[in-house]
Amino acid sequence: MIAGLVVLAVLAFGGYFWVKQHQRASLASVETKITDDELAKNVSCVKRADNGSVWWCAGLVGTKGACWIVHVPVMGDMKVKDGRSRCKQVASLAATVRSGA
């Protein structure tokens, strides 16, 4: 019984560590997702969570600058949402959004 609890505790800790620390997406995969799904060019992204679960991206759609937030769940596809003015908080992204204005 005690051995079973120890094994369960180790599995729980390992699962927690994997979820929190596992690199969920690479920069290249996030930029490709935005380029393909949003038909954007000159896409650049910055990681907003150490484990790659949240990214902010900026790029050009036509001649207009745009900003997106990408959430990467532990299992499943990346979710892309409108980033509105969040890109203004990161100098490199703000420059991309402004260049399309």
* The pLDDT of residue 18 is above 50: no
Give the largest Cα separation in the chain, rounded.
65
The rounded radius of gyration (Å) of the Cα atoms in the chain is 18
Dump pLDDT digits (tens) for 31-45.
999 999 999 999 999
Q: Where are the domains of the chain?
A: 24-99
Identify whether the C-beta of residue 94 lies closer than 8 Å to the C-beta of residue 88. Answer: yes
Cα dihedral 49/53/54/55 (nearest 10): 100
Helix residue ranges, H only, 22-88: 27-38
* The pLDDT of residue 15 is above 60: no
Q: What pLDDT, on the 0 to 100 scale, is given for residue 19?
A: 45
Distance of alpha carbon 55 from alpha carbon 45, whole angstroms: 6
Q: What is the pTM of this model?
A: 0.76
What's the mean per-residue pLDDT of the chain?
Answer: 83
